[in-house]
Every structure is written in C-alpha cells, then in structure tokens.
Chain A
Amino acid sequence: MESFYSESPFGTSITAEEVLDSIGFLDDWEERYRYIIDLGKSLPALPDELKTEERFVRGCQSQVWLTQQFDQAENRIYLAVDSDALIVRGLAAIVLAALNRKSPQEILDYDMEAYFSKLDLLKHLSPTRGNGVQAMVARVRDEAQRLV
C-alpha cells in the first residue's frame, strides 16, 4: 500500500474525537484557522501523477484531488486527499479524521452534519461555500455506497 495511505495519521492517531476536543479549546478564529492549516500540513501529499481528471473534485475554488483504496480483507476504505490551498487541505484533513479507514457502512452511517456543527464549522467555514468540502464528502459516500 502506498505511503500516502499507510502513513496518514487521519483516522488513526488523529480521529474525529480528537479534532473535536482540540478545536473545542480554541476560542478565536485565528487559533482555529492555525489549527486547521496545521492539520492540513499533516496530510501526506499525493504524487503529481495521481492528480488526474478523475480524481479531481469539482465545486472547489482551489484544486482538490481525492483518491481511495478499498481493502477487502479489512473491510476498510483508505482515503487520501491533496489540495493546493492550505485551508481546503485542512478541511480535507478534518473530513479524513472522521471517514478514513472506516468500513463502507460506517461511512454511510456517519453523521457529517452533526460533526460539522460540533466543530462550529457551519458558522465559520460553511461547507457549502465553494471550498468543496461537501463535494469531497459526497465523493467518499458514493464510493462507500458502491461497496456496501
């Protein structure tokens, strides 16, 4: 398995719970954005040859690529995302903290809206606002749907 799957901390050492905990302590926008950008920096980069048309996520002002691999034996989807913008990278990391290495059924059952609300991201970083987070989540869910 490629290192951008196996070495991603998201869904292993950095989970949705941990993201929620950490962000809960941050009370102003600057701290939150610095945290989100730092999360993005922990996201392993995708090699350029994988930044192809079919991995391109539409609906983003910045360029976003998403790739996944299904491990049948483990029944887990491995996800990897890359973007040329720091904040979108960070948001992608937040999504991966929740969805990476989960089974297709777990992905479909995951309540993303509740997760975003808890993060208070709906107010500060609306997922519908051109940052492509919604499109990213939809792409992952489509893949999960195909596999269940």
Chain B
Amino acid sequence: MSFDIAALRAQFPILSQTVRGKALAYLDNGATTQKPEAVMHAVDAYYRECNSNVHRGAHYLSDEATTRFENARQSVADFVNASREEIIWTRGTTESINLVASCHGASLKAGDEVIISTLEHHSNIVPWQMACERSGATLKVIPMQPDGSLDLAAYRALLNERTRIVAVTHVSNALGTVNPVADMIRDAKAVGAATLLDGAQAVSHFNIDVRALDCDFYAFSGHKLFGPTGIGVLYGRKELLEAMPPWLGGGEMIETVSFERSTWNRLPYKFEAGTPNIAGAIGLGAAIDWLRGQDRSALAAHEAELLHDATARAEAFEGMRLIGTAPGKVAVLSFLLDGAHPHDVGQLLDQQGVAVRTGHHCTMPLMDCLGIPGTVRASFSIYNDSTDIERLFNALEKVKSFL
C-alpha cells in the first residue's frame, strides 16, 4: 500500500478549515485526535438506521444495534489480539484504570505495594493513591532519567514479593517516551505482580498485542484513536476479570436479581452496568476498522519522519529547550522557549492558527521532577505534514518577537 498524505488528510474534514483567518495546524493530537469520515458516518448511520437499546429488545432495530455494537467489540479484540469477552467498554482510559484500581485493587492489603512511574498521567496516579488509602498499601514510584526515560535499574530494585500491581504508562503523554513495557512486565511477573498499561498515548501510534506484551490489563480511550469521545476500553486477562468483584451495579451486569441477592452476568457484561455508549462503541469500532485498512507501517514511518524533521528544526531554533529526548519516543515535541511562559507561547501560537497544548499536561509530579511548571507540547499524528511543521516554527519565530 502506498501512502498519500493529501488523500489521508482529505478524510479528516476538520483539518481543512481556517481558524482566526489562518490555515489550521492541529498539533494537539495527544489531547485528542480528529475523526475520519468513516467514523462520523458510522455514528450517523447508527442513529439514522438502527438506534435502539442493545441486548434487550425483541425487535429488528435492537438486533441490528446489538450486532453493530458487538461487531465493534470484536474489532477492538482483534485490534489488540484479545478475545471479545476480555474487552470491556468504559468511558475512557481514566474509567478503565479506576475500574481496575477499585475491583482488582479490592484485594490489596496493608503492607502490599503498588508501583507506578514518574511519567504517569494523573489518571494513573490518583486511582492508585485512592486504592492504597483504602487498603493501607504503599505506592512506589519508578524514578526517571534526565532524558525522560525510566530508570529501569531502580524499577527492578523496587520490585519485591510485596509488589501486587505494576501500573505504568506505555507512552508518556507529556514527553512521548515509549517505555520498554514488555521487559517491565516480565520483571513484574517474576515477583507475581499484576500489570496494567495505560495505553492512551500508544494506540494511535503503533500496533498493540496484549498477548505479546503479556500484560494483565490494558486501558485506552477511543477519542485518542480517531474515534468518538466518551468511549474507552479496558482489556483484562480473563482469569483476573473473573476473579474481580463487579464495580457498578445495575442493569445488564446481572444474571438474576432478587431482593435477597443478585448474581452477576458473564464477561464482559459483568462490568458494563446500564445502557452503554452504543454510538460511541460503534464509532470506535469504525475507527479501528478504518485504521486497520491503512498501511500502519507507512503511517509510523511518516510520523517518525515528522518527528525527525521537527526535532531538527527545534535543535536549530535559538532559545528552544526540548523536554524529553528519550530514544525511540513517539512524535511529541515538548519544549520551553527561553524566558517565555508556556501559556503565553500557546496563546500566541493559537492566534496564528497553530493548536498546541500548554501547561502541566496532567502530570504535575513529572513537572515537579523536571523542575518546571509546564511545557508547550506539539503532538503529531498521521495526518500532520511538513506544512504543519513549517507553520509551527514560523509562528514560533513570531512569538519570539513578543517576548
């Protein structure tokens, strides 16, 4: 398959608009990705053709909605190499991690240890703090090296027979670091710990194989994978999901209910109380089907080229300091301009049609560790092109004239 950037961009209608009279350079893909026509069409078609509740109705529309909804689950399962009963719909990565911290975390006891890393998003810190507070377990943090990669020797030193859970991010949202998670999981397994990967920033960049990774849980969001907002996924290894108590109680997650007691539905429904985000799931399924129809190695090569070119521009740009330079990182450029507050830089870029994120990126402990209040983050995706890099750096030249 060949890779045609113009044809790809044409499938994302939002990219062709002007903002504030300027052509848009959307470089905030770490926050959310744009949606291809195929996704919008699938969501629209669901509402137009078969809007109905799933798994319940004794009628045609409900059967059709259920088919599309469960086909989407199968798409997700195929995408990460899991079986469909191991794929649980959630609202997003945050909810997926909270589910694991609450339900798998329910077995934590005083004296147990949970390991996270310095790179974590607040979503993979706070649920574990809460679980530790409930259980009396202790939270341990893997330190980081100056380039934004984790200190693996320190990680191995943290592992011991008290380690119950290792929960780390696959890819850092703030810096783009790709962690060597397969090795980290192997080490965690050696001490009998369960493993969770926060895949929010990984799924749009490369293929995920939960069997090859051998992780117990993998969490990600639809909206960072070209799908709709409000839908996410938790992959859980079947044996662990079976052993976990349910989380939310209500419809769909039960098998039988009496006033004396209820029994739980089979997987994955045991963790899906209430009417799910049907349109969102169908949209995410469409996003995955669309992505699987692309040449992903060509897309990855394109992103690597963008990162290479942007980094070269950054290194030649006077007064720019790159934050996070770990080898093999994804296409994220986190930086500071000498003497400039990231918020000022972001606003002045915005006036020129360049969309970036500024601030702590929901990683306050990481920023504290780096000794900075925040960064400007330009995060690239498959549909960005060399013009976007050109616009970013031209706009940054203008920003400098304000400071």
Residues of A whose CB lies within 8 Å of any CB of B are 29-30, 33-34, 37, 61-63, 84-88, 124-125, 130-131
Specify the chain A residue showing the minimal Cβ separation from B359: A61
| Residues of B324-356 contacting chain A, CB below 8 A | 341-344, 347-348, 351
For residue B146, CB closer than 8 A to chain A, the reply is no
Inter-chain pairs besides A29-B351, A86-B402, A87-B347, 12 sampled, C-beta below 8 Å: A33-B402, A37-B402, A61-B358, A61-B359, A61-B374, A62-B341, A62-B344, A84-B341, A85-B343, A86-B341, A86-B344, A87-B344
Cα of A88 to Cα of B343 in the assembled complex, Å:
9
Q: Which residues of chain B have a CB within 8 Å of any CB of chain A?
A: 20, 341-344, 347-348, 351, 358-359, 373-374, 398, 402-403
Our count of residue pairs bridging A and B at CB distance below 8 angstroms stands at 37
Give A59 Cβ to nearest chain B Cβ, in Å: 13
Nearest opposing residue in chain B for A32, CB measure: B351
- In the assembled complex, the CB of A94 is this many whole angstroms from the nearest CB of chain B, namely 15
Cβ-defined contact, B403 with A86, below 8 A: yes
Q: Which residues of B contact A86 (CB under 8 A)?
A: 341, 344, 402-403
* Cα separation A130 to B344 with both chains bound (whole Å): 12
Sampled A-B contacts (7; CB under 8 Å):
A33-B402, A62-B343, A85-B341, A86-B341, A86-B402, A124-B351, A131-B343
C-alpha spacing A29/B342, complex, angstroms: 19
Chain B's closest residue to A85 (CB) is: B341
In the bound complex, what is the Cα–Cα distance between A30 and B118 (angstroms)? 39
Q: A29-B20, A33-B351 are in contact. Are A61 and B343 (CB under 8 A)?
A: yes
Q: Is the CB of B358 within 8 A of A33?
A: no
Smallest Cβ-Cβ distance to B21: which chain A residue? A29
Please report the C-alpha to C-alpha distance between residue A87 and residue B343 in the assembled complex, in whole angstroms: 8
Report the separation of the CA atoms of residues A33 and B351 in the bound assembly, to the nearest whole angstrom.
10
Residues of B within 8 A of A61 (CB): 342-343, 358-359, 374
Question: Which of B20, B343, B374, B402 makes the CB contact (< 8 A) with A34?
Answer: B402
4 tightest A-B contacts by CB? A85-B341, A61-B343, A62-B343, A85-B343
| Docked CA distance A131–B342 (Å) | 12
A63 CA to B398 CA, complexed, in Å: 24
Residues of A within 8 A of B351 (CB): 29-30, 33, 124
Which residues on A sit within 8 Å (CB–CB) of B341?
62, 84-86
- Specify the chain B residue showing the minimal Cβ separation from A60: B343
Check A33 against B343 for contact (C-beta < 8 Å).
no
**B residues near A125, Cβ cutoff 8 Å:** 347
Alpha-carbon gap, A21 to B342, bound state (A): 30
Chain A residues with CB under 8 A of B344: 62, 85-87
Q: Which residues of A contact B373 (CB under 8 A)?
A: 63, 84
With contacts A62-B341, A86-B402 known, is A33 near B348, CB below 8 A? yes
| In the complex, chain B residues whose CB is within 8 Å of the CB of A30 | 351, 398
Q: How far is the CB of A98 from chain B (nearest CB, A)?
A: 21
CA A88 – CA B358 in complex, angstroms?
Answer: 14
